[in-house]
């Protein structure tokens, strides 16, 4: 049976940077999360996870996820779940692991892996941080089918797309107006899982999609819909909403990952240092 969680009250404004440290950004059943606390949690999640959150809404998405988790934890504690012996053992083990990880990173690791080591690794291995060209793609797909609720011939499928293509080339069909119209038509006509998101396939690297689809997409200019493109999945109209050229991830974005990797490589030396400290 699903439990009903108590309501929470958000006080957060979108511009977190403008919040003072003590200003509440959320209240969860009387438990206040301040801007300072949020910043501290955000800084500790690691560069890779932070990058994923930034694609999904940034710090606001992270806060939303934390609030949902905190609601469940509050419910667990209210029921006494945290008093169980197995749970207390897990909490103790997690506390010990956290102390170990932080001590290794901040005390022992700081002597073995310095900031200059992180930078040197980055400069010498930039190929590891290369990012390929990406396209932000939308599409509308119509399929031919001999039976079922979407049964239609090849000619009928193409006629639908020709009608859509005409609508996309009407007056004002540039920039945001074109994108909005494309998204509306995708929701109305497209026959795949991306239809409800306006045909949005997100940012795509080469080699991830059907070869015929990619050949058409990578030849398109930004902001101009394609003609009818045939693939093994049906007939498409493709729109490249934006392009991101190939490049290299900046050092600031990956330095935490580099540091952790170098620490892991030197773990034997770290453990040896721990042994000397305790003997």
- Position 56 scores a pLDDT of 77
Nearest in space to 239 (alpha carbons), one of 115, 121, 136: 136
| Domains defined along the chain, listed by start | 1-82 (no CATH), 91-130+248-279 (no CATH), 133-245 (3.10.50.40)
Is the CB of residue 227 less than 8 Å from the CB of residue 238?
Answer: no
- Position 59 scores a pLDDT of 83
Q: Please report, rounded to a whole number, the percentage of residues in the chain having pLDDT higher than 90.
A: 49
Is the pLDDT score of 171 beyond 50? yes
- Position 2 scores a pLDDT of 44
Per residue in 18-61, pLDDT (tens digit) is 455 677 888 888 888 888 888 888 877 766 787 788 777 788 88
Q: Which tokens belong to 148?
A: 């079922």
Residue 276: pLDDT band (50, 70, 90) is: low
Is the pLDDT score of 87 beyond 70? yes
Least trusted range by pLDDT, from 14-28, 97-111, 187-201, 235-249: 14-28
Nearest in space to 209 (alpha carbons), one of 198, 218, 221: 218
Position with higher pLDDT, 163 vs 54: 163
Is the pLDDT score of 105 beyond 90? no
- Position 269 scores a pLDDT of 67
C-beta contacts of 160-167 below 8 A and 24+ residues apart? 160/189, 161/228, 161/235, 161/236, 161/237, 162/228, 164/140, 164/189, 164/237, 165/225, 165/227, 165/228, 165/237
Nearest in space to 239 (alpha carbons), one of 174, 171, 142: 174
Q: Give the per-residue SS3 of the chain.
A: CCCCCCCCEECCCCCHHHCCCCCEEEEECCEEEEHHHHHHHHHCCCHHHHHHHHHCCCHHHHHHHHHHHHHHHHHHHHCCHHHCHHHHHHHHHHHHHHHHHHHHHHHHHHHHCCHHHHHHHHHHCHHHHEECCEEEEEEEEECCECCCCCCECHHHHHHHHHHHHHHHCCCCCCHHHHHHHHHHHHHHHCCCCCHHHCCEEEEEECCCCCHHHHHHHCCCCCCCCCCCEEECCEEEEEEEEEEECCEECCHHHHHHHHHHHHHHHCHHHHHHHHHHHCC
Mode of pairing for the β-strands spanning 247-248 and 134-142: unpaired
Per residue in 212-269, pLDDT (tens digit) is 999 999 999 999 999 999 999 999 999 999 999 999 999 998 888 888 888 878 776 6
- For residue 138, what are the contacts with CB-CB under 8 A and spacing of at least 6? 179, 182, 183, 186, 194, 198, 199, 200, 201, 238, 239, 241
- Position 20 scores a pLDDT of 57
Segment 90-99 mean pLDDT: 91
């Amino acid at each position: 049976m699903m439990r009903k969680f108590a309501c929470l009250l958000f006080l957060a404004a979108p511009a977190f940077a403008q919040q003072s440290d003590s200003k509440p950004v959320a209240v969860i059943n009387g438990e206040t999360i301040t801007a300072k606390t949020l910043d501290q949690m955000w800084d500790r999640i690691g560069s890779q996870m932070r990058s994923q959150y930034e694609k999904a809404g940034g710090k606001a998405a992270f806060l939303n996820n934390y609030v949902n988790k905190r609601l469940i934890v509050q419910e667990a504690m209210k029921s006494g779940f945290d008093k169980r012996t197995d749970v207390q053992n897990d909490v103790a083990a997690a506390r010990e692991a956290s102390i170990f990880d932080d001590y290794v990173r901040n005390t022992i690791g700081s002597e073995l892996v310095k900031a200059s080591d992180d930078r040197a690794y980055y400069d010498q291995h930039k190929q590891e941080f290369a990012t390929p060209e990406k396209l932000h793609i939308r599409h509308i797909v119509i399929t031919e089918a001999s039976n079922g609720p979407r049964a239609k011939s090849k000619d009928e499928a193409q006629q639908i797309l020709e009608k859509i293509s005409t609508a996309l080339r009407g007056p004002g069909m540039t920039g945001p107006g074109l994108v909005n119209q494309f998204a509306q038509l995708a929701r109305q006509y497209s026959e795949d899982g991306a239809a409800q998101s306006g045909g949005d396939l997100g940012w795509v690297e080469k080699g991830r999609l059907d070869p015929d689809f990619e050949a058409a997409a990578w030849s398109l200019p930004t902001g101009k819909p394609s003609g009818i493109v045939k693939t093994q999945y049906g007939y498409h109209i493709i729109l490249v909403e934006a392009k991101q050229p190939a490049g290299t991830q900046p050092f600031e974005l990956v330095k935490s990952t580099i540091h952790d990797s170098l620490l892991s490589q030197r773990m034997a030396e770290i453990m040896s240092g721990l042994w000397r400290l305790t003997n």
